[in-house]
Every structure is written in C-alpha cells, then in structure tokens.
Amino acid sequence: MQTQSSLSSKVTADAPSLLTPHDERVIPSFTITRLHMSSRVLAIVVMACGAPLLVAACGSEPTADEPSRTADNLGTRVCLVNNDTGQRTSEDIGDSVTLTATVAFTRKDTAEEGAFPPGKQLCAEGTFGTGSDVIADLTWTAAFEEGSEGSGSYQWKSGFSATNPWMGKPKAELKSPLSSDDPGTYSCLSKGLQVGESMTGDDGIFQMTVTRLADDQWKEFEVVFTPSADPDPFLFPRGITGGGSC
C-alpha cells in the first residue's frame, strides 16, 4: 500500500464502493483528485462541481498515554504470589490451623496451575475480545487439630480476574466469600489501575495486594497474598474491606 499517492482518474455512476488505483470509470461532475492513505487514516478529496470536498476520514493515531488497548499490546498477564505463612492459630476452632490452596485458571490462553503453597508463584496470560482476559479460581483448605471443635477441615473459594478493555484503564477484581453462613455469596473489589498503582483488599484471612506492573507483551498484574491485618477469629472470609456484593 502506498502511503501517499496522487490519482487523476474518473469513476462511473455505477462504480463499486471500494476504489483502487485501477478504477477508470466516470461519475458526472465528480473527479478524484487525491487519495491520501496511512496505516490509521484514510481521506479522499473529491472535486464536486469544481470545489474540493472531503468525503471520508476515519481513524486516528493513538497517543502515547492512551488508556485503551493497542495493536501491539492486546492481552493481560497475571501472576499470583503466595507470601502467606500457611499457618494460623485460633482458640475458636483449633490450636493450630494449616492453610493450603490450589489454583485453576478458568479463562486464559496459557497458564501454570495446581498447588499454591507459600513461596509459590503461578502465572497466566490471556487475550479475549470480550469479558475478562484472565480469571483465576482459588480453592483454600483450612485443616485444624486439637481445638474446641476437635479436628477437621473446611474449604472456601476466592477469585481474581483482570482485563485490558478496549476503552479505559486495565482493570483488576478480587473476589471472596461474604461470610461462613453463606459461602456462595461473594464480595468483590475492582479498580482500573495505572502502571505502578496498587489496590489492596483484606477478607479476614488474607491481605491481597494487586499491583499493575510495567507493560511488556501484555498488561501486567501481580497479586500478592499475605496474612490478614485483622484476622477473623473463626478463620473464615468475611467480605473484602471496601468491596461490595457481586
């Protein structure tokens, strides 16, 4: 494709809508005098009864700080980092509680999945036209011993998702159960983030900090799990601070 060309040609009244340098048909009183094209802009100048008329102009060059996704940076990459100790003490359910987790990415192109012990990092990448680019489901198990409730274990699920929308900032969302009474209801905390910006939520078990990292081949997010700053006495999520039902 020529980036600039000057065409002096005429087209007929039954001419097709797509014009090429080989069109040599005639439309009465209309003469194409210039066709200017670039990778993002198309403009056609037509002489109508001797006066120039702009009949098509579309597209624009993205600015350096444009927040929407760009042609060379479409998808999202997420890394989950377990910086938790994996251990808790609770007089209400047990003297010693061990926390373990597994991760499944339910929306992704490629991913590392499975066990998520302390010190582990699991990452996934995804690029989709609609909805989230990456969705992670985390299953947590708390095993307790020698407490007032005897010994046993229980589970709950939490989640994380991220996307690079066509318009607006890349967005991250944390998801955690609202209460032990109804573990099927959730609270969510979401925000569009600029590079270097963070979002933190605490659900009584974990403090979860989401940070948007510098762009690489994707929009990059890191999610770090650490012990809650205000632990729930029964060691069950109680909703994310600052979040709403979802």
pLDDT in tens, 44-87: 333 334 444 433 333 333 344 444 445 555 799 999 999 999 99
On whether residue 63 sits in a domain, the answer given is no
**Is 103 in the same domain as 160?**
yes
For position 237, what pLDDT does the model report? 92
Q: Are 201 and 208 in contact (CB under 8 A)?
A: yes
> Is pLDDT at 41 greater than 80 in this prediction?
no
**Same-domain status, 18 and 93:** no
Confidence band for 228, pLDDT divided at 50, 70 and 90: very high
Residue linked to tokens 């944390």: 174
Q: CA torsion angle for 82, 136, 138, 193 (degrees, to 10)?
A: 50
* Model pLDDT, residue 74: 78
3-class secondary-structure state, position 167: coil
Query: What's residue 217's pLDDT?
Result: 87
Rounded Cα distance, 16 and 20, in Å: 10
Does pLDDT of 179 surpass 70?
yes
Kindly state whether residue 65 falls inside one of the protein's structural domains.
Answer: no
Do 48 and 129 belong together in one domain?
Answer: no
Pairing outcome for strands 94-107 and 87-90: antiparallel
pLDDT at 92: 72
How many CA atoms lie within 13 Å of 111's alpha carbon, on the beta-carbon side? 22
pLDDT at 219: 96
Asked if the structure places residue 189 within a domain, the reply is: yes
Whether 144 is in a domain gets the answer yes
Is there a single domain that holds both residue 240 and residue 190?
Answer: yes
Task: Please count the other Cβ atoms lying within 10 Å of the Cβ belonging to residue 198.
Answer: 13
Residue type at 246 in one-letter notation = C
106, two tokens: 């339910």
* In the predicted structure, residue 215 carries a pLDDT above the cut 60: yes
Q: pTM of whole model > 0.75? A: no
The answer to whether residues 45 and 85 belong to one domain is no
Residue 71 lies in a domain: no
Residue 192 shares a structural domain with residue 235? yes
Predicted local distance difference test score (pLDDT) of residue 149 = 58
Residues 158 and 225 occupy one common structural domain: yes
Split into its structural domains, the chain has a count of 2
| Residue 70 counted as domain residue | no
Neighbours of 95 (CB within 10 A): 12
Residue 16 sits in the same domain as residue 84? no
Type of residue found at 50: G
Percentage of residues of the chain with pLDDT beyond 90: 54
Residue 50 confidence (pLDDT) = 46
Instruction: Supply the pLDDT for residue 33.
Output: 32
Helices (H), 35-185: none
Domain of 16, in residue numbers: 4-58
Residues 157 and 205 placed together within one structural domain of the fold: yes
Residues 13 and 98 in one domain: no
67: in domain? no
192 and 109 within one domain: yes
- For 1-37, how does the pLDDT look when each residue is reduced to its tens digit (9 = 90+)? 444 443 333 333 343 333 333 333 333 333 333 333 3
172 and 108 in a single domain? The answer is yes
Does residue 68 belong to any structural domain of this protein?
no
Tokens 């002096």 locate to: 8
Q: For residue 155, what is the domain's CATH number?
A: 2.60.270
